[in-house]
Chains A and B, each alone.
Chain A
Amino acid sequence: DQQVKQNSPSLSVQEGRISILNCDYTNSMFDYFLWYKKYPAEGPTFLISISSIKDKNEDGRFTVFLNKSAKHLSLHIVPSQPGDSAVYFCAASGRETSGSRLTFGEGTQLTVNP
């Protein structure tokens, strides 16, 4: 049972445009969500997170939106840059399920074309 889903394995956008990466979850106990970026042969890098008490969190070019009723979150990158090309993982956690356990989606490969 995949509790965190990233339905798009890949996304290609032009430099300067907006990249939108999507993530859906099924476990209503999740109350904290994170996005990680990963380059090949490196560890994931934490990007941005959002608590379920918020519907938006912004950090520079990165904004995460959370729609609790739809159990959906998205990561917006604007403007997209070629250096943003990487695999993006959505992850979720919950205080009651176990704060230590992050459940990851399968990842979306983002390619930003110059």
Chain B
Amino acid sequence: DTEVTQTPKHLVMGMTNKKSLKCEQHMGHRAMYWYKQKAKKPPELMFVYSYEKLSINESVPSRFSPECPNSSLLNLHLHALQPEDSALYLCASSQSGGRGAPTGSYEQYFGPGTRLTVT
């Protein structure tokens, strides 16, 4: 089973709203990721959690706040977003990650994404 699930599938929110994106995996993976993808562009890494600790924050604005309640769940809390934040938000997971991790553990499995529109 290589399934990563994300909810909701679509989200429309105003600039003053607070919402959350959710991601879940049951593959026993210990690394989880948030990416942002704009049309016709590759995914852009936002955050990495390794063993439930935030290990990478790619200088993402504070209006995006990640949370990893346990090894299977990853949330992205959204507040005061801008229209330019509209994008496909992807969650991914991998066996492990970080420096020195065994090769083969780098394979990241992506969820279907949440299509976010900020109005």
Contact = CB atoms under 8 A, between A and B. Distances in A.
A49 interface: yes
Given A34-B107, A99-B106, A100-B33, A44 B43 contact: yes
B45 A98 contact: no
Nearest to A96: B99
A100 B107 contact: no
A101 interface: yes
Contacts of B112: 42-43
A32 B110 contact: no
Interface residues of A, number: 25
B113 A100 contact: no
Given A99-B98, A100-B97, A101-B45, A93 B109 contact: no
A41 B90 contact: no
A32 B103 contact: yes
A99 B100 contact: yes
B106 A93 contact: yes
A5 to B, nearest CB: 11
Interface stretch (A60-68, A75-83, A103-111): A103-111
Nearest to A98: B99
Contacts of A105: 42
Contacts of A106: 41-42
A49 B95 CA distance: 15
Contacts of B96: 99
B25 interface: no
Interface stretch (B14-22, B48-56, B62-70, B74-82): B48-56
B42 A100 contact: no
A105 B40 CA distance: 11
Interface of A: 31-32, 34, 36, 41-46, 49, 51, 89, 93, 95-96, 98-102, 104-107
Given A36-B110, A99-B97, A100-B56, 4 more contacts: A32-B103, A95-B103, A98-B98, A106-B41
